[in-house]
Amino acid sequence: MRRKGWKIYEENLLLQNYKTMTIKELMKLFPGRTEDSINAKIKRLKSRRKIEGYRDVETKDRAMHQRRKEI
């Protein structure tokens, strides 16, 4: 599978929405990106200290609810 690089506008959009959107919601925002690719990009941004802190409580709760629906 060929890797598709992240465009600057995509990275900026991810930075703007990371704390308030779940991975499932981010996947809808980035069609063609897998859950793994989004998580990998978040991990790289955190290591470069472009993303600091954690998601807000409401986002974490929504993510847990989405995971439970899948099971």
Position 2 pLDDT exceeds 90: no
35 part of a folded domain: yes
pLDDT at res. 4: 81
14 part of a folded domain: yes
28 part of a folded domain: yes
50 is in which domain, residue-wise?
8-70
- The residue among 60, 71, 57, 68 whose CA lies nearest residue 25 is 60
Per-residue confidence band for 1, with pLDDT thresholds at 50, 70 and 90: low
pLDDT tens for residues 21-61?
999 999 999 999 999 999 999 999 999 999 887 788 888 88
CA 10 to each of CA 14, 24, 37: distance values in angstroms, whole numbers, following the listed order: 6, 16, 12
Position 13 pLDDT exceeds 70: yes
User: Whole-model pTM above 0.95?
Assistant: no
Q: What is the mean pLDDT of residues 61-71?
A: 85
1 part of a folded domain: no
Q: Please tell me the total count of domains within the chain.
A: 1
2 part of a folded domain: no
